[in-house]
Amino acid sequence: MTTLQAIILAIIEGITEFLPVSSTGHMIIGSTIMGIQQDEFVKLFTVAIQFGTILSVVVLYWKRFFQSLDFYLKLLAGFIPAVIAGLLFKDQVDMLLENVVVVGVMLFLGGLVFLFIDRLNPEAAEGVEQPMTFKQATLIGIWQCLAMVPGVSRSAATIIGGMTQGLSRKNAAEFSFFLAVPTMFAATVKSIYDYVKDGGAFTNEHLQLFAIGNAVAFIVAIVAIRSFISYLTKSGFKAFGWYRIAVGGVIIALHLAGVSMQMM
Q: Report the percent of the chain where pLDDT is more than 90.
A: 33
**Class of residue 129 by CB neighbours under 10 A (exposed 0-12, middle 13-18, buried 19+):** exposed
pLDDT attached to residue 126: 55
Residue 122: band (very low, low, confident or very high) from pLDDT cuts 50, 70, 90: low
How confident is the model over 81-92, as a mean pLDDT? 81
pLDDT attached to residue 218: 95
- Which one is predicted more confidently, 7 or 40? 7
Whether 243 has a pLDDT exceeding 50, the answer reads yes
Residue 256: band (very low, low, confident or very high) from pLDDT cuts 50, 70, 90: confident
Whether 127 has a pLDDT exceeding 90, the answer reads no
DSSP secondary structure of 17-73 = TTTTT-HHHHHHHHHHHHT----HHHHHHHHHTHHHHHHHHHHHTGGGGGS-HHHHH
pLDDT digits (tens, 9 = 90+) for 169-215: 888 888 999 999 998 898 888 888 888 888 888 889 989 999 999 99
Q: pTM value?
A: 0.83
- Which one is predicted more confidently, 234 or 218? 218
Residue 263: band (very low, low, confident or very high) from pLDDT cuts 50, 70, 90: very low
pLDDT attached to residue 255: 82
pLDDT attached to residue 59: 94
pLDDT attached to residue 142: 94
pLDDT digits (tens, 9 = 90+) for 146-171: 888 888 888 889 988 888 888 888 88
Whether 120 has a pLDDT exceeding 70, the answer reads no
pLDDT attached to residue 264: 37
Query: Any long-range contacts for 99-102 (C-beta under 8 Å, 24+ apart)?
Result: 99/150, 99/262, 99/263, 100/28, 100/29, 100/32, 100/251, 100/255, 100/261, 100/262, 100/263, 101/251, 101/252, 101/255, 101/261, 102/149, 102/150, 102/151
Nearest to 177 by CA among 159, 151, 195: 159
- Which one is predicted more confidently, 237 or 92? 237
pLDDT attached to residue 178: 93
Task: Provide the 3-class DSSP secondary structure of residue 85.
Answer: helix
What is the C-alpha separation between 72 and 64, in angstroms, rounded?
10
Summary mean pLDDT of the chain = 85
What is the C-alpha separation between 192 and 189, in angstroms, rounded?
5
